[in-house]
């Protein structure tokens, strides 16, 4: 093709999946002899409009990256060939092993603005180098899991299946989106690699092209049923939806003779509620009351809520683009920030991007009915009422305990959604959940600002946060 | 971790990076003995609001996938272990080699709604199986290249650098977004793997954390300059932007003694135009007129246009989230559709999702000043006035000629942007570019509808297209 290209798959576990400025920083830390322990926390500065909560996700990939990331010999050769990196840096990368501590809420935990999704405590060069990929993993899966949770809440009792691989932002994005959606309560995915790599149930029906390739729809349905007798979900909207439903009804007795039952049909265009009602009536009248109706095409949580309110006789939904791109808000305003170095708390005060200094912990209180009643962000060494949300994951670069399986994480997410206050289960999610900041943390912020000689008025995080998303 | 997981990097070149329904369709085609040639085309149904044109991108990855995709032995084992796939299908996958033809506009070409980004002509099972990954590659890079082109047009003469890896939807997305942005006219990226894999120039400055980790800003600047004397772009907004600019000015003579010049400064928060003006004045007064101003944080094409109109003294921009997620429109309404099977033209008529039948070609006319003057979508076997946009890429599964290098593709994109009519270079992009449909194609659509027994009124593509995005 274009000559001596490198295989593109090298990058996934690579330490080089990072920004150049991280390498610059590591160079500078090494040159300045700065080897003390740093504490970084990754958090969302502000929830997007229409997001009352977030579902933490991506921790397993982040942790595996910390445990396994390295530079391959080919990458080290490439670094040397660039002529812009010192031997000291390249040796550091060649010998890299993450030696630090990680604390985090388990995947599936509900989180809010300013609450850490991960806390990394490690020699500063190590903690800095991994920033880009940690954000990359945690941001995207949290984004999609949070979007998926809204869909789960908007369509109680309905089956939800990820159809998004083709329009995800890359293959890796499709794979990780399937995982995040399943974690948040989806029932399965259409994506084959998600079954292979994560054991997620896969579901698939048929394509318009199959029907188009046949001279008539009935023959297409027959051929499909013969080839996939256990997956007979017929796609109805290629030409005329209700006429296709009649075709399925007429075909059913023949199929039954071959021991094949009609499992269901799929609608993929038009007024889904109207078509579902008409098709339901045709199927019921034709003796196919057991056949399920699957709908797809342009579905998001708002459509789900409308169809649910409408009582549309749809049993399950295939959801693609709106899910895997988190289409209304395809990014979160989030940051991985230095909170302490060499035991001293730190913060920056950039306009609209200030944050609380020092390592933090989040304590969550529950009401008598089990619902979440309010959080307090506190200094990490404080003990307060409520459950501490960040738990030890790594100590000295080793797992404290095996990470939960995806199914366990998914169970946890389900329980967390049950614990949401009722108003946060609605799509509008008003009023916001109450997150307080403890007095000690406020006092610490004032002290840190005094020490860094930049105190004017008190700057509280989030208050001035207007813009979309900064970068570091 | 969670037991016997498989490495996640297998998937990138895998035939299994697809939807289950593609495997179902291949099963059914094989079972029904349908081995004739199919023609599929991938196109965007409707441009998003605020997109007057698209920049075709992702073809190199799509073609490499066609040439190289296979199932690994481990994947074949996994397929067998599932118990849901026939030996016939698994043998087909094991022996897969794409044997078909591909025609496409070269990367960097300007395209509009209903115009093919790729035409695949191959035995139907082959052409069907690759759908998911072809869409996955072409959709995302076209999305990002089109967004990037708007930024290029909104900031003439300014340097533009991709800062988006961390908030891209996965590592692969970050890598491909850097490529798409460079193709559309960006000058470089912060992403190290984009340099390694695509040879894109990389740029990087410094992080807030580096400054925070120091007890004072001046020491941080000194340490950074000592470690990276050739990359002295100082980040100013950690505490107080203008004060930091004064610090840089005060430091400059000392650095000069060590042979280090101040290359520039970076602003990352607040009112960028106001800070840029103040900082420019401070730098100029301090003898640093040569130092460049880089701005980042929440920048998109609208902000670029405002800053350009405002005459803000900013030399270059680092752009992340809005670029790599195409934040205002993170997906295109696009489809890969069967246009013919066994020599007979086909189309579906689903509500809002009808399309023109048969293989198509696009002919583009130019005005005397070289600007694009209008396109006609025609049947592929017609010859019309204008330049034929789709060119042969593969014949019989082999490259007709080596694909252009990324730099050549980028040059082509630059020339294409020069040929845009002036009104399409503006962000509002009104009125839309004129794309006609030839009479023969309209007649063909009527004939195909008659044959598939579903003709009522003429259904023209796009006219009823309301919804977001269907799924196949």
Residues of chain A with C-beta less than 8 angstroms from the C-beta of B338 = 208-209, 212-213
More confident residue, A167 or A457: A167
The length of chain B is: 472
When mean pLDDT is compared across A66-75, A114-123, B400-409, the lowest value belongs to A66-75
Residues 6+ apart with CB under 8 A from A401: none
For residue A231, the SS3 value is coil
* Pair (A141, A181) in one structural domain: no
CA distances from A71 to A66, A95, A123, A125, A199 (A): 13, 9, 19, 16, 29
* Pair (A167, A314) in one structural domain: yes
CA A50, CA A151: separation in Å to the nearest integer? Answer: 12
* Pair (A22, A121) in one structural domain: yes
Q: How far B206 CA sits from the closest chain A CA (Å)? A: 5
In a domain, A461, yes or no: no
For residue A156, the SS3 value is coil
* Pair (A187, A312) in one structural domain: yes
ipTM: 0.94
In a domain, B13, yes or no: no
CA B273, CA B290: separation in Å to the nearest integer? Answer: 19
* Pair (A72, A205) in one structural domain: no
In a domain, B111, yes or no: no
Q: How far A370 CA sits from the closest chain B CA (Å)? A: 30
- Strand locations in B194-330, DSSP E? 233-235, 264-267, 292-296, 316-319
* Pair (A122, A19) in one structural domain: yes
Is residue A427 a contact partner of residue A50, using CB atoms and an 8 Å limit?
Answer: yes
Residues 6+ apart with CB under 8 A from A58: A107, A137, A138, A139, A140, A141, A142, A176, A180
Residue ranges making up the domain that contains A25: 8-145+333-451
For residue A270, give the chain B residue with the closest CA. B351
pLDDT on residue B457: 43
Q: What integer best gives the mean pLDDT of chain A?
A: 92
* Pair (A296, A363) in one structural domain: no
Please give the structure tokens belonging to residue A339.
Answer: 């909170």
CATH number for A112? 3.20.140.10
**Mean pLDDT score, A64-68:** 94
* Record: contact B297-A467, CB cut-off 8 A: yes
For residue A31, give the chain B residue with the closest CA. B227
* Record: contact B166-A135, CB cut-off 8 A: yes
In a domain, B211, yes or no: yes
Please state the domain count of chain B: 1
A219 has pLDDT over 50: yes
CB atoms within 10 A of CB A383: 9
CATH number for B208? 3.20.20.70
Residues 6+ apart with CB under 8 A from B399: A1, B63, B67, B393
* Record: contact A297-B470, CB cut-off 8 A: yes
* Record: contact A191-B19, CB cut-off 8 A: yes
From A324, A357, A377, give the residue that closes a domain: A324
What band does A356 get if pLDDT is binned at 50, 70 and 90? confident
CA B229, CA B263: separation in Å to the nearest integer? Answer: 9
* Pair (A69, A171) in one structural domain: no
CA distances from A158 to A55, A186, A293, A314 (A): 20, 10, 11, 8
**Mean pLDDT score, A50-55:** 95
Kindly report, residue by residue over A403-456, the tens digit of the pLDDT: 999 999 999 999 999 999 999 999 987 889 999 999 999 999 998 888 765 444
In a domain, A104, yes or no: yes
pLDDT on residue B453: 55
CA A300, CA A320: separation in Å to the nearest integer? Answer: 9
* Pair (A123, A184) in one structural domain: no
CA A27, CA A90: separation in Å to the nearest integer? Answer: 9
Q: How far A365 CA sits from the closest chain B CA (Å)? A: 30
From A324, A355, A388, give the residue that closes a domain: A324
Terminal-residue alpha carbon distance, chain B? 36
For residue A58, give the chain B residue with the closest CA. B170
In a domain, B472, yes or no: no
pLDDT on residue A244: 97
For residue B80, give the chain A residue with the closest CA. A196
In a domain, A3, yes or no: no
Kindly report, residue by residue over A246-288, the tens digit of the pLDDT: 999 999 999 999 999 999 999 999 999 999 999 999 999 999 9
Low-confidence ranges of chain B (pLDDT < 70): 1-12, 452-472
> B73: number of CA atoms within 13 Å, CB side?
0
* Record: contact B165-A19, CB cut-off 8 A: yes
* Record: contact B352-A27, CB cut-off 8 A: no
- Alpha carbon of residue B303 to chain centroid: 21
Terminal-residue alpha carbon distance, chain A? 36
- Strand locations in A297-395, DSSP E? 316-319, 333-341, 344-345, 360-366, 372-379, 387-388, 391-395
Of the candidates B136, B209, B471, the beta carbon closest to that of A297 is on: B471
For residue A168, give the chain B residue with the closest CA. B136
- A170, A226, A345: best to mutate for the B interface, most B CBs within 10 A: A170
Output b/e per residue, B14-29; b: 16+ Cβ within 10 A: bbbbbbbbbbbbbbbb
Of the candidates A1, A31, A405, the beta carbon closest to that of B64 is on: A1
* Record: contact B350-A208, CB cut-off 8 A: yes
* Record: contact A349-B238, CB cut-off 8 A: yes
* Record: contact A24-B167, CB cut-off 8 A: no
Of the candidates A16, A298, A341, the beta carbon closest to that of B469 is on: A298
In a domain, A152, yes or no: no
> What number of C-beta contacts closer than 8 Å exist between A and B?
459
Q: How far B163 CA sits from the closest chain A CA (Å)? A: 7
Is residue B101 a contact partner of residue B75, using CB atoms and an 8 Å limit?
Answer: no
Of the candidates A82, A193, A346, the beta carbon closest to that of B11 is on: A193
């Amino acid at each position: 093709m274009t000559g001596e290209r490198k295989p593109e798959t090298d990058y996934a576990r690579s330490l080089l999946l990072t920004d150049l400025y991280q390498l610059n920083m590591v160079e500078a830390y090494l040159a300045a002899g700065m080897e003390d322990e740093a504490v970084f926390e990754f958090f969302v500065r502000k929830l997007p409009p229409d997001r009352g909560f977030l579902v933490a996700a991506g921790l397993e990939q982040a942790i595996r990256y910390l445990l396994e990331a390295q530079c391959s010999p080919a990458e080290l050769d490439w670094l040397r060939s660039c002529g812009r990196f010192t031997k000291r840096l390249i040796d550091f990368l060649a010998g890299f092993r993450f030696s630090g501590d990680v604390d985090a809420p388990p995947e599936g935990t509900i989180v809010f603005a300013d609450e850490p999704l991960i806390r990394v405590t490690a020699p500063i060069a190590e903690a800095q180098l991994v920033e880009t990929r940690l954000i990359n993993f945690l941001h995207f899966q949290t984004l999609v899991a949070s979007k998926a949770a809204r869909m789960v809440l908007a369509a109680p009792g309905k089956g939800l299946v990820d159809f998004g691989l083709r329009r995800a932002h890359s293959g890796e994005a499709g794979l990780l989106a399937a995982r995040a959606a399943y974690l948040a309560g989806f029932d399965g995915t259409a994506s084959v690699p998600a079954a292979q790599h994560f054991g997620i149930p896969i579901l698939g029906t048929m394509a318009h092209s199959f029907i188009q390739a046949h001279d008539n729809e009935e023959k297409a349905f027959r051929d499909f049923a013969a080839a996939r007798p256990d997956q007979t979900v017929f796609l109805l909207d290629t030409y005329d939806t209700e006429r296709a439903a009649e075709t399925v009804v007429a075909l059913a007795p023949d199929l039954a003779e071959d021991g094949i039952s009609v499992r269901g049909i799929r609608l993929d265009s038009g007024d889904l509620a109207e078509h579902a009602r008409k098709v339901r009536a045709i199927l019921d009248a034709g003796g196919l009351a057991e056949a399920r109706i699957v709908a797809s095409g342009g579905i998001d949580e708002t459509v789900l809520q409308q169809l649910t309110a409408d009582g549309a006789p749809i049993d399950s939904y295939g959801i693609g683009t709106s899910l895997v791109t988190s289409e209304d808000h395809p990014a979160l305003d989030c940051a991985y920030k230095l909170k302490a170095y060499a035991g001293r708390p730190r913060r920056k005060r950039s306009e609209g991007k200030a944050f609380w200094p020092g390592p933090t912990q989040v304590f969550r209180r529950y009401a008598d009915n089990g619902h979440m009643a309010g959080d307090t962000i506190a200094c990490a060494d404080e003990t307060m009422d409520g459950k501490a949300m960040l738990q030890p994951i790594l100590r000295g670069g080793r797992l404290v305990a095996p990470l939960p399986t995806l199914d366990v994480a998914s169970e946890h997410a389900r329980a967390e959604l049950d614990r949401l206050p009722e108003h946060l289960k609605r799509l509008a999610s008003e009023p916001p959940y109450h997150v307080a900041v403890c007095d000690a943390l406020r006092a610490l912020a004032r002290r840190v600002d005094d020490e860094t000689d930049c105190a004017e008025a008190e700057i509280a995080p989030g208050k001035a946060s207007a813009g979309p998303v900064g970068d570091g």
